[in-house]
């Protein structure tokens, strides 16, 4: 069968997520909430038939992927091609700080100009090519099977756009939740969307509080 099923996961929450700081390639670990989310998504995928797990080598993604590997017993591999967009000098800054420090650049970032890049960072167009080639190469290695990709919000955004034909500058109307379960199908014709934004496994926290 010339197709590969992909389960695509954004890493669990970090302190910088909570503070709306751009992380990019800065290596931030999961916070307590993120570790809980990693455990929940791992448990949700426990019974999935997974041939391999590929994760960004940044620790927030790697920690999330390790939890999934522990439950599924699938082999885990690091891949730099799954890293978040490089934000250069923008990294570590909050959205509000960017508007104050570099208003013109911040506007270009918010407008999603395809060929603009933060100083020392990566453009959306370059990132899209990186994500498309990485995900395609990994899918081609597992034809007829299913793999898990654990990455970052920007990576998932690119995969959603590739699967739905959305342009780089199209306004985002889809959710990129931490530790949500997203499903794609790869064939030689490209990516298609199967399911997106499943967070039912993350509702246990609310249920547990209500039953206490």
**Any idea which residues carry the catalytic annotation?**
11, 84
Check: CB of residue 146 under 8 Å from CB of residue 49. Answer: yes
Contacts of 104-107 with CB under 8 Å at 24 or more apart are none
3-class secondary structure per residue, 19-52: CCECCCCCCCCECHHHHHHHHHHHHHCCCCCCCE
SS3 179: coil
**In whole angstroms, what is the distance from residue 31 CA to residue 39 CA?**
13
**In whole angstroms, what is the distance from residue 22 CA to residue 88 CA?**
10
């Amino acid at each position: 069968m010339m197709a590969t099923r992909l389960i695509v996961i954004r890493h669990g929450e970090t302190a910088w997520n909570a503070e709306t700081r751009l992380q990019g390639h800065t290596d931030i670990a999961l916070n307590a909430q993120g570790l809980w989310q990693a455990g929940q998504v791992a448990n949700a995928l426990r019974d999935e038939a997974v041939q391999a797990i590929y994760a960004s080598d940044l620790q927030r993604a790697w920690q999330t992927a390790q939890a999934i590997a522990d439950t599924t017993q699938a082999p885990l591999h690091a891949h730099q091609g799954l890293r978040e967009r490089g934000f250069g000098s923008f990294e570590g800054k909050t959205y509000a700080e960017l508007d104050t420090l570099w208003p013109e650049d911040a506007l270009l970032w918010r407008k999603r100009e395809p060929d603009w890049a933060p100083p020392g960072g990566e453009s959306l167009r370059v990132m899209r090519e990186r994500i498309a080639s990485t995900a395609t190469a990994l899918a081609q290695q597992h034809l007829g099977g299913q793999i898990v990709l654990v990455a970052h919000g920007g990576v998932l955004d690119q995969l959603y756009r590739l699967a739905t034909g959305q342009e780089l500058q199209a306004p985002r109307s889809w959710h990129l939740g931490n530790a949500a379960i997203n499903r794609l199908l790869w064939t030689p014709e490209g990516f298609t969307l199967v399911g997106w934004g499943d967070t039912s496994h993350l509702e246990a926290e609310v249920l547990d509080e209500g039953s206490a």
